[in-house]
């Protein structure tokens, strides 16, 4: 019987193992942790947002973006839906986000475990793979305690993100042995840290905002939604979705600035419209102090911080401010500059950008173009997605493609 070894029992590895075993192949799954699917348990704040109704390639990022449309096709998306039907997952869909109906990540882990048991897939935990070689037509997989041989190997070890779950980047070393190009691996879906010294003053605030990313003064992308203000900068989903781009820019020594609009739903789109808005508000709320003009639409901590940065005393009135002070105050509200110092470390990142170049992968099968019989899937590849089920979505998808293709051709 054709033998397949899958290295890594995360989302993509489990999927590949199940799909390969369904074809009748002899599958052995090697996992360094004592349990499988450790990272799955922490996704979606424990609810596991495992898919998205809108799997548009615009929500994915790669150095070779043009190749994504060859992977994330309608046919391949349908394969993922059929896979979850096979597992018996009943989805709960919220604004296009797919969760298990139980709203518990452990439910996804459980159905995957059930499939492993039903298919009698050999799962070996607490096994660290040190090296993979190919000798003639046979792969040799070296672990701490044993040497395994197989006809095919699927590598699904994860990236460097969240190393406590077992994905410490060792997979890149395994793949590098086969001379694959590794696009620089950087943290993504993580916080952004700024250079200013006043972030402790806004720490703890959650607010709807619009973030606009500029690289060397050139507009790159914007995101809108809730952000979390931290003692080192900003966090939250909007921030996460920009962080991968920020990390890549910093890695190229680019100057990254995120401009924050703290009132994206108000009719203040420029300094001039801001002047008009506050002038009308001042006429409506006569004899109010400047800080009182912001009652009801900005948190007090932000108001006092902005007044301090604009060198305005809270007891002053709008009419008493000179035009430069007025413009400065409005600028701090609608285009607050956060000059980026860094992004969160790998330990705080949900995923990574970078990885194995897509140019070196058969995108219909996930097989290496450099080594016949070697398959590379999941986070190891140079593909990362926004928040919203996109990264897990790619893990299932790439796992299915590899699992369905493995064993079809021999040297």
| Predicted TM-score (pTM) of this structure | 0.94
What is the Cα–Cα distance from 93 to 270, expressed in whole angstroms?
37
So what's the pLDDT on residue 268? 94
Q: Is the dihedral angle over the CA atoms 332, 270, 227, 167 positive or is it negative?
A: negative
Structure tokens given for 73:
């096709």
pLDDT tens, position by position, 4-31:
999 999 999 999 999 999 999 999 999 9
Contact of 290 with 332, CB cutoff 8 Å: no
So what's the pLDDT on residue 165? 86
pLDDT tens, position by position, 349-358:
999 999 999 9
So what's the pLDDT on residue 411? 52
Using the 8-state DSSP alphabet, how is residue 105 labeled? H
So what's the pLDDT on residue 42? 84
Q: What's the CA angle centered on 10, arms 33 and 361, to 5 degrees?
A: 125
User: How crowded is residue 120: how many other Cβ atoms within 10 Å of its Cβ?
Assistant: 9
Beta pairing, strands 3-7 & 26-30 = parallel
Bigger pLDDT: 408 vs 206: 206
So what's the pLDDT on residue 408? 84
pLDDT at 218 over 80: yes
What is the Cα–Cα distance from 128 to 306, expressed in whole angstroms?
52
pLDDT at 410 over 80: no
Contact of 351 with 59, CB cutoff 8 Å: no
Element (H, E) at 249: helix 237-251
Contact of 174 with 134, CB cutoff 8 Å: no
Using the 8-state DSSP alphabet, how is residue 381 labeled? B
**Residue closest to 187 by CA, chosen among 345, 314, 52:** 345
What is the Cα–Cα distance from 139 to 145, expressed in whole angstroms?
17
Topology of domain 3-186+351-405, CATH: FAD/NAD(P)-binding domain (3.50.50)
Three-state DSSP class for residue 89: coil
pLDDT tens, position by position, 94-108:
999 999 999 999 999
Mean pLDDT of the chain: 96
pLDDT at 391 over 80: yes
Question: In the chain, what are the domain boundaries?
Answer: 3-186+351-405, 191-344
Q: Residue 166 region, left (φ>0) first, then alpha (ψ -120 to 50), else beta?
A: left
**Residue closest to 395 by CA, chosen among 202, 156, 226:** 156
């Amino acid at each position: 019987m054709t033998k397949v070894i899958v290295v890594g029992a995360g989302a993509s590895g489990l999927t590949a193992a199940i799909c390969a075993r369904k074809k009748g192949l002899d599958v052995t799954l090697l996992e360094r942790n004592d349990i499988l699917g450790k990272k799955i348990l922490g996704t979606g704040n424990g609810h596991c947002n495992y898919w998205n109704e809108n799997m548009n390639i615009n929500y994915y990022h790669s150095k070779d973006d043009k190749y994504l449309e060859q992977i994330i096709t309608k046919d391949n998306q349908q394969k993922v839906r059929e896979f979850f039907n096979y597992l018996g997952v009943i989805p709960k869909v919220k604004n296009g986000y797919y969760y298990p109906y139980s709203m518990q990540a452990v439910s996804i882990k459980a159905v995957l475990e059930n499939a492993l048991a039903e298919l009698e897939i050999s799962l070996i935990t607490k096994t660290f793979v040190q090296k993979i070689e190919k000798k003639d037509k046979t792969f040799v997989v070296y672990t701490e305690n044993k040497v395994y041989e197989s006809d095919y190997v699927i590598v699904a070890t994860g990236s460097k993100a969240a190393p406590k779950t077992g994905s410490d980047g060792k997979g890149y070393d395994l793949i590098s042995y086969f001379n694959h190009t590794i696009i620089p691996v950087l943290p993504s879906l993580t916080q952004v840290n700024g250079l200013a010294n006043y972030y402790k003053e806004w720490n703890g605030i959650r607010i709807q905002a619009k973030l606009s990313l500029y690289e060397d003064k050139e507009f790159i992308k914007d995101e809108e939604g809730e952000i979390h203000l931290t003692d080192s900068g900003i966090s939250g989903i909007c921030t996460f979705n920009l962080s991968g781009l920020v990390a890549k820019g910093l890695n190229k020594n680019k100057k990254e600035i995120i401009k924050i609009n703290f009132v994206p739903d108000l009719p203040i789109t420029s300094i001039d419209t801001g002047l008009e808005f506050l002038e009308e508000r001042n006429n409506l709320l006569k004899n109010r102090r400047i800080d009182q003009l912001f009652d009801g639409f900005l948190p007090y901590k932000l108001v006092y911080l902005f007044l301090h940065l604009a060198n305005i005393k809270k007891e002053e009135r709008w009419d008493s401010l000179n035009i430069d002070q007025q413009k400065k105050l409005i600028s701090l509200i609608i285009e607050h500059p956060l000059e980026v110092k860094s992004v969160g470390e790998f330990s705080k990142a949900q995923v990574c950008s970078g990885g194995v170049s897509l140019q070196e992968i058969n995108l219909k099968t996930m097989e290496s173009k450099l080594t016949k019989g070697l398959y590379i899937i999941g986070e190891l590849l140079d593909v990362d997605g926004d928040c919203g089920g996109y990264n897990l979505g790619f893990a299932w998808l790439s796992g299915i493609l590899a699992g369905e293709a493995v064993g079809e051709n021999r040297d």
